Amino acid sequence: MEVLAALGHWPGAVLLKQSGTAYLLVNASHILGIALLIGAILPLDLRLLGFFRSVPVNVLPPVLSRIAACGLGLALLTGAWLFTVRPVEYAGNAAFLWKLGLLALAFANIALQHRSAAYGRALAGDITAAVRWRAAASVTLWPGVLLAGRWIGFL
């Protein structure tokens, strides 16, 4: 608990507490990161699930994966910074804990998908059931993370 309380006194946290403009910019950057992440990953997952068949499956992953990774990095960085504003409260917030749990599952799903030999074959057009299942999990998990994040403010 002491470590969490100390985070609230970190200069970055103090800046956000004292400057509405700084908080606005960091919060907007967090939303931008989420938009880039989900906006890139959902079309890719939907293609793996069989939607947009007119788009060759090998065209999307290189671009959309990089955009999603940039969005994820921005969302993680700014989310951690926003956490420092009220770390003790957030650590006890059920919605925040759900968000972290869903985020951990989403990360595990990414690791399984990208380390899978089947994913490599999927990029060549051989989309297996396992790749589809992980894409379906992704389509569920990332919006779940988003909803849990929005839920934090209501608890």
Compute, in degrees rounded to 10, the torsion defined by CA atoms 108, 36, 14, 22. 180
Instruction: Read off the pLDDT of residues 27-82 as tens digits, 9 standing for 90 and up.
Output: 999 999 999 999 999 999 999 999 998 888 888 888 999 999 999 999 999 999 99
In this prediction, residue 121 has a pLDDT band, given cuts at 50, 70 and 90, of confident
Rounded distance between C-alpha atoms, residue 103 and residue 144, angstroms = 9
The residue among 139 and 119 whose pLDDT is bigger is 139
Rounded distance between C-alpha atoms, residue 119 and residue 43, angstroms = 16
pLDDT at position 147, please? 96
Rounded distance between C-alpha atoms, residue 47 and residue 54, angstroms = 10
pLDDT at position 107, please? 96
Q: pTM for this one?
A: 0.89
With a cut of 80, say whether residue 19 has pLDDT above it.
Answer: yes
CB count in 10 Å sphere of residue 19: 12
Rounded distance between C-alpha atoms, residue 31 and residue 24, angstroms = 11
In this prediction, residue 118 has a pLDDT band, given cuts at 50, 70 and 90, of confident
Rounded distance between C-alpha atoms, residue 25 and residue 22, angstroms = 5
With a cut of 80, say whether residue 15 has pLDDT above it.
Answer: yes
Instruction: Read off the pLDDT of residues 76-98 as tens digits, 9 standing for 90 and up.
Output: 999 999 999 999 999 999 999 99
pLDDT at position 102, please? 98
Rounded distance between C-alpha atoms, residue 142 and residue 70, angstroms = 15
- Domain locations in the chain as residue ranges: 2-152
